[in-house]
């Protein structure tokens, strides 16, 4: 840590005023309390000495750290970087910073990460790791620290605000796209059902099929244990090994869809000739795949921005009414979907 850093006392001494005066000058909200002339001398001395407020001492005294914790499963999942940018850019604009922790989806890591963040006295938390029943969320409520859930949410009766995608609608877009192409027997590689995204997209799939006048065959639904390429591959292979035939598969996210690609390759099936595939998230570079992936585009960056805004509002006014934002997804049609080979 910087040893030679000038403190408020040094500045005060240099100008010949009391430290509290310097404090008032450095603080926009109280600058008006001190004579313009003195203020000028103080700012000059401060600049001359290279003074910068010690954020630690400031936070300790004011009980505001201007820090928020962001908990995500894994930053190497390409969905998260744009979200983080949205969060960080928004926070930075008001002098806040984010500290990030990866949990790898392990609920026990959650707890220790949370303690760490509470110890650092974060002003609030953004959680992208919420499970439908989530101890961490409960803990935060008990501790009365402002929280907003992002991407995923807990049970529907949640009391904490959230910013999520309209998962039901998003899946609906893929299904109607496929039925529009003439597909009737559509399979679903569902995500983990203890995550709101997995559950909602599953529900959305059932609803959309029904709306299209088709029946969603339970034998054509495979559930992945986690969102990963490997699980997607496994799930689709299971379906292919089943008795029921199908011409298209709606994957609950892009990673699962990638796994589906692999499964097709290993069975020497061609996409989209033998099988159409759709994803969810429009991760970076899925437009470069072979074939380019038809998927649901979500507003990554915007999601981060909104989550940060909601949280900041919560921090300044803890009594603020809870909001639940649901961002509008859109369909990006690319090469992985086509007419069924009659």
Partner DNA sequence: GCAGGTTCTGCAAACGATTGCAGGGTTTAC
Partner DNA sequence: GTAAACCCTGCAATCGTTTGCAGAACCTGC
Site of interaction with DNA (CB under 7 A)? 5, 7-9, 16-21, 23-24, 26-27, 30, 32-35, 38, 51-54, 57-58, 60-63
Note the maximum CA span of the chain. Answer: 89
Beta carbon of residue 311, minimum distance to DNA (angstroms, whole number)? 21
When CB distances are held under 5 to 8 angstroms depending on the partner's kind, the choice from DNA, a copy of itself, none that residue 245 binds is none
Residue from 34, 5, 35, 3 nearest 20 by CA: 34
Nearer to DNA, 20 or 238 (CB): 20
- Contacts with a copy of itself, residue ranges (CB under 8 A): 1-4, 52-57, 59-60, 63-65, 74-76, 78, 80-82, 84-85, 88, 92, 97-102, 115-116, 118-123, 142-145, 258, 261, 284-286, 288-291
Only one residue has tokens 């921090």, namely 315
Beta carbon of residue 21, minimum distance to DNA (angstroms, whole number)? 4
When CB distances are held under 5 to 8 angstroms depending on the partner's kind, the choice from a copy of itself, DNA, none that residue 51 binds is DNA
Angle between helices 80-92 and 300-316 (to 10 degrees): 40
Neighbours of 132 (CB within 10 A): 17
Nearer to a copy of itself, 182 or 284 (CB): 284
When CB distances are held under 5 to 8 angstroms depending on the partner's kind, the choice from DNA, a copy of itself, none that residue 102 binds is a copy of itself
Bridge partners of 71? 101, 127
Nearer to a copy of itself, 57 or 106 (CB): 57
Q: How far apart are CA 274 and CA 278, in angstroms?
A: 14
Q: Which two tokens stand for residue 17?
A: 């005023």
Total residues belonging to the chain: 342
Beta carbon of residue 29, minimum distance to DNA (angstroms, whole number)? 7
Residue from 247, 248, 257, 246 nearest 224 by CA: 257
Q: What are the strands, taking DSSP E only, across 90-247?
A: 97-102, 124-127, 147-150, 162-165, 186-190, 221-223
Nearer to a copy of itself, 54 or 176 (CB): 54
Nearer to DNA, 40 or 185 (CB): 40
């Amino acid at each position: 840590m910087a040893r030679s850093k000038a403190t408020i006392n040094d500045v005060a001494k240099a100008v010949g005023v009391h430290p509290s005066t310097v404090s008032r000058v450095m603080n926009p909200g109280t600058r008006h309390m001190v004579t313009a002339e003195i203020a000028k001398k103080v700012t000059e001395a401060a600049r001359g000495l290279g003074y910068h407020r010690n954020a630690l001492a400031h936070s300790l005294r004011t009980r505001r750290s201007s820090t928020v914790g962001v908990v995500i499963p894994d930053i190497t999942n390409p969905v998260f970087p744009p979200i983080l940018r949205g969060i960080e850019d928004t926070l930075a604009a008001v002098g806040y910073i984010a500290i990030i922790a990866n949990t790898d989806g392990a609920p026990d890591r959650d707890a220790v990460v949370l303690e760490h963040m509470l110890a650092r006295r974060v002003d609030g938390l953004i959680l992208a790791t919420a499970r439908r029943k989530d101890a961490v969320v409960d803990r935060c409520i008990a501790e009365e620290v402002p929280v907003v859930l992002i991407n995923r949410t807990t049970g529907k009766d949640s009391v904490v605000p959230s910013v999520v995608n309209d998962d039901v609608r998003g899946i609906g877009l893929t299904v109607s796209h496929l039925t529009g192409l003439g597909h009737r027997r559509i399979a679903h590689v569902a995500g983990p059902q203890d995550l709101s995204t997995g559950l909602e997209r599953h529900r959305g799939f059932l609803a959309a099929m029904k709306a299209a006048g088709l029946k969603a065959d339970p034998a054509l639904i495979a559930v992945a244990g986690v969102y990963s390429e490997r699980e997607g591959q496994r799930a689709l292979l299971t379906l292919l090994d089943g008795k029921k035939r199908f011409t298209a598969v709606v994957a609950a996210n892009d990673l699962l869809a990638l796994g589906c690609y692999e499964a097709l390759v290993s069975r020497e099936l061609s996409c989209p000739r033998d099988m159409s595939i759709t994803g969810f998230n429009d991760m970076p570079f899925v437009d470069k795949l072979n074939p380019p992936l038809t998927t649901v585009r979500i507003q990554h960056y915007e999601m981060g921005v909104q989550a940060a805004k909601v949280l900041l509002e919560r921090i300044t006014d803890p009594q603020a009414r809870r909001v639940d934002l649901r961002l509008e997804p859109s369909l990006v049609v690319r090469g992985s979907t086509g007419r069924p080979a009659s």
